[in-house]
Amino acid sequence: MIIFIDGKKFGIESKKTILEAARENEIYIPSLCDHSRLSPFSGCRLCIVEIKGRRGYVPSCSTYVEEGMDVKTDSPRLRKMRKQILELILSEHPNACLICSEKENCDEYKSTIRKVGEVTGCVLCPNNGRCELQDVVKALKIDKVRFPSVYRNYEVKKNDPFFDRNYNLCILCGRCVRVCHDLRGSSAVSFVFRGSKAGIGTVFDQTLLEAGCQFCGACVDVCPTGALTERALKYETLPDETRKTICPFCSIGCELKMELKEGRILNSAPSEDGPVNQGQACVKGRFTIKDAVYSSQRILKPMIRKNKELEEVSWEEALDFVAKKLKKYKGKEIGLIASPQVSNEDNFLIHKFAEYVLKTENIDSVVRFSSYAVFQDLAQKNGFELNLNFKIEDISKAKTIFLLGADIVVTHPIIWLEVLRAVNNGAKLIVASSVDFFLNRFSSLWLKMKPGSEYFLLSFLSKVIIDKSKVENLAQIEGFKNLKSSLDELDLSQAIEKTDIEEENIKKAAEILIKETPSVFIFGMELTQLPWGSQNLAGLWNLSLQTQGQLVPLGLETNLRGLFELNRHCSSNTKGFKRIIQDAEEGKVKALYLASPIPYSQKAKFEFLVIQDSFMSENMKKADAVLPAASFAEIEGTFVNVEGRIQKFNKVIEPLGEAKPDWWIISQLAQKMGHNELNYNASSEISKEMIKNIPGFSGISFQKLKKGERLFIQEEKKGKKKFVPIKFFSTSIETSKEYPFLMLVDYNLDYYKNLDLSQEIKAFGIIRNSRWFKINPNDAKKTKLKDGETMEVESSKGKVKGIVKVLESVPRGTIVASFLWNEEETISVARLVSPLSNASHSLVLLPVKIKRGK
């Protein structure tokens, strides 16, 4: 399409607005309410243009280009109107500094005056230098405001975590309202009141926390003024550089840009052109990165135990000590635990170290408990091909989305954004859960079910679909007859009894699944973490085959997929850390190399314990050597995200203290133990070797990775399909008089290595907290427990204390706890089962009793 802007001819794609077309061709049109990720709004009216043959002045942000359109972006009349509009906006925005004739000379005096509470001019504004209003004032050359200025005199809202809201600076562009509603689905803020009192606010002026804010920070990122500002930046000046890297706090792999000042991270924010996240992040990536990296819990120097005390020593001494000790043990007497939160390179090397240097099979990680492992097991036993790759952007194209076993708004926020996009495009969202998730507001159907009864639901849906859809299509898939006969014994009344779902809703779900295709089945760890997790998954697998839907397995940890891929090829004979800890209890494993946090019982006594981590932990009390590993921000490497996408992350700052990359520590240790073949100078050397040796990574060149090309783990393209027959058994976890409550566990990744984010970062702990025991208001009333009190939860095996959190979303008769792999034994719900190392599988449904703790 040909259009003319200011007399020049341009070729523009249709479906673009005039503003977009002009920006693409570097023609400046001032605007304040428009944002590239948001739909047009035409609120500020600054982007008005003239179009030949059209009356009046049209906003270019909401006018789409048409063939032959002749646009004028600048004329004396336009300039005059824009100036007047901007002066009107400024009359309600503190503007003394903007139009001050001395503003050029002001710089040297303004370094500390930001600390004042009231912002009456730019030099007092925390957003000074980042403000879009400043830019537009400069571009339009405003030097006076002809209207009387109004200061709204609203109180600055400082009661929420992470950012302040100063609506005295708000220009009512509505970006925050739109991003919160359109992109994030929270709608925590809205336009409130009318006329001169109109503003942005929450219901009854509640805090954002009360109004359902997720604190993703999207509103802060789009705010053109200082109305919404990150508190941590308030006392900082402008950054001197920005670097990009990948967020390590969940398996999505958002690209973040980090602002740096003199080599220190100032903050982190989602990168506008991040391939996965496209300008969005979550509370963890947006607000907690800096505090986590600079945590006071960081281990900064190598330590070894001398005279019963850990003492700081040099790397040389620490490595010599560990090497000498490890040499003493035979291979099978040493166990290693790898981490799904470090890079592929680090993990490749630790596996190589185990195989070539220690000559042990005892290497494992929490991958063993992931939904990937359950899925792989199911595939192997039943002879179908395992496909784990998917594309996040495909989710928004689905017509039906079926979600089980994860509160994705918390665990995989970017996937939630895609689900929201699909729902906004008319897709039906079916949620099967016992807890009332926030996203149920968007579901067409919430199948409120008895905890743990998923496979009855899924099998019954399978059965209905077999009866209702064309059998010929399905019968061609192997195993159909077996599946059909295995489902014979299940009838509607049984399904209703087992799941507690209303008959009407089960029928509705089946109807949606048959009619609305393509469908996507998203499942998280809570589906597979039950003792009968593989039956749950089998039910879902069958359903996805029947409806030709896409199965989306959600791995939890940052680089779980990468480590899983390594495990598939490096250590098929490994024992599993359940066995390693058990062997330790029996005295078979004598030395443990912990490169990842795990809970383990006091009973397991190791002669020699090495901890390689970035953060201090309770386990250090028992450690003989502690080796400080660098955090993600201090190294480079690759992560594989939940889709199977391989992404390179970059070094942002120098390692803190004497911390070193994990691979360096392992490499040095190997050399000390006389293995020079593990000598590497950079993580890129390991990348190259890994790409050669691990089939999943084949065909991926380091050059391509550096360029940021889209690279996925290699998989068999056309996987073999086969139905899996369902075995029915009565689920046996029931509450009793003595243990009247059922404890559910929600799995989230609110920890990084040994750091519990909710305990380290207070503001984050207000939003969600690993110590919370969530309870229904009715149960709280009955047991006389109040928010914030200490509560003791006891099972037949042990007891643990936590903090009461009363939430309506929790079903009656249940307690929802969170389980973190890095929690110390004294506070972990893992205490409630025995042995501890058995934790992950038996925690999901656990009969418990509760009382007020001291």
* Residues making contact with another protein (CB under 8 A): 181, 186-194, 201-204, 211-212, 441-442
Q: Which lies closer to another protein via its Cβ, residue 431 or residue 690? A: 431
* In the complex, least distance from residue 418 CB atom to another protein, rounded to whole angstroms: 19
3-state secondary structure 329-389: CCHHHEEEECCCCCCHHHHHHHHHHHHHHHCCCCEECHHHHCHHHHHHHHHHHHCCCCCCC
Q: Are 388 and 375 in contact (CB under 8 A)?
A: yes
Q: Which lies closer to another protein via its Cβ, residue 228 or residue 378? A: 228
In terms of C-beta distances under 8 Å and separation of at least 24 residues, what long-range contacts does 754-759 make, across chains too?
754/297, 754/597, 754/613, 754/614, 754/615, 754/616, 754/617, 754/822, 755/292, 755/295, 755/297, 755/614, 755/615, 755/822, 756/820, 756/822, 756/823, 757/249, 757/284, 757/288, 757/292
φ, ψ at 2 (rounded to 5°): -100, 130
Residue 195 vs residues 172, 192, 198, 305: alpha-carbon distances, Å: 12, 10, 5, 70
CB atoms within 10 A of CB 458: 28
* In the complex, least distance from residue 440 CB atom to another protein, rounded to whole angstroms: 8
* In the complex, least distance from residue 175 CB atom to another protein, rounded to whole angstroms: 16
* In the complex, least distance from residue 68 CB atom to another protein, rounded to whole angstroms: 39
* In the complex, least distance from residue 690 CB atom to another protein, rounded to whole angstroms: 47
* In the complex, least distance from residue 441 CB atom to another protein, rounded to whole angstroms: 5
- The token pair at 811 is 């079903």
Per the omega criterion (within 30 degrees of 0), is the bond before 451 cis?
Answer: no
* In the complex, least distance from residue 206 CB atom to another protein, rounded to whole angstroms: 8
Q: Which lies closer to another protein via its Cβ, residue 382 or residue 809? A: 809
* In the complex, least distance from residue 205 CB atom to another protein, rounded to whole angstroms: 9
* In the complex, least distance from residue 405 CB atom to another protein, rounded to whole angstroms: 22
**Which residue carries 């089960």 as its tokens?**
506
CB atoms within 10 A of CB 165: 27
* In the complex, least distance from residue 708 CB atom to another protein, rounded to whole angstroms: 37
Q: Which lies closer to another protein via its Cβ, residue 214 or residue 288? A: 214
Q: Which lies closer to another protein via its Cβ, residue 212 or residue 835? A: 212
Q: Which lies closer to another protein via its Cβ, residue 207 or residue 494? A: 207
Q: Are 132 and 175 in contact (CB under 8 A)?
A: no
Q: Are 341 and 752 in contact (CB under 8 A)?
A: yes
Q: Among 455, 481, 456, 454, which residue's Cα sits nearest to residue 466?
A: 481
Q: What angle do CA 183, 818, 375 make, to 5 degrees?
A: 75
Q: What angle do CA 490, 491, 494 make, to 5 degrees?
A: 90
Q: Which lies closer to another protein via its Cβ, residue 171 or residue 538? A: 171
Q: Which lies closer to another protein via its Cβ, residue 177 or residue 761? A: 177
Q: Which lies closer to another protein via its Cβ, residue 28 or residue 191? A: 191
Side-chain half-sphere CA neighbours of 314 within 13 A: 3
* In the complex, least distance from residue 427 CB atom to another protein, rounded to whole angstroms: 15
Q: Which lies closer to another protein via its Cβ, residue 442 or residue 523? A: 442
Residue type, 81: M
Q: Are 320 and 296 in contact (CB under 8 A)?
A: no
Cα–Cα distance for residue pair 363/338, rounded to 1 Å: 7
Cα–Cα distance for residue pair 270/255, rounded to 1 Å: 6
Strand partners, 400: 428, 519
Per the omega criterion (within 30 degrees of 0), is the bond before 518 cis?
Answer: yes
Q: Are 615 and 294 in contact (CB under 8 A)?
A: no
| Run of H or E residues at 256 | strand 255-261
* In the complex, least distance from residue 34 CB atom to another protein, rounded to whole angstroms: 21
Q: Which lies closer to another protein via its Cβ, residue 204 or residue 729? A: 204
Cα–Cα distance for residue pair 820/830, rounded to 1 Å: 9
* In the complex, least distance from residue 202 CB atom to another protein, rounded to whole angstroms: 5
Query: What is the per-residue DSSP string for 156-200?
Result: PB--SSSEEE-TTS-----HHHHIIIIISS----EEES-GGG-EE
Q: Which lies closer to another protein via its Cβ, residue 194 or residue 784? A: 194
Number of H helices and number of E strands within the chain?
Answer: 29, 34
Cα–Cα distance for residue pair 251/371, rounded to 1 Å: 13
Q: Which lies closer to another protein via its Cβ, residue 192 or residue 673? A: 192
Q: Which lies closer to another protein via its Cβ, residue 444 or residue 684? A: 444
* In the complex, least distance from residue 748 CB atom to another protein, rounded to whole angstroms: 23
CB atoms within 10 A of CB 177: 21
* In the complex, least distance from residue 174 CB atom to another protein, rounded to whole angstroms: 11
Q: Which lies closer to another protein via its Cβ, residue 211 or residue 409? A: 211
Q: What is the DSSP letter of 753?
A: T
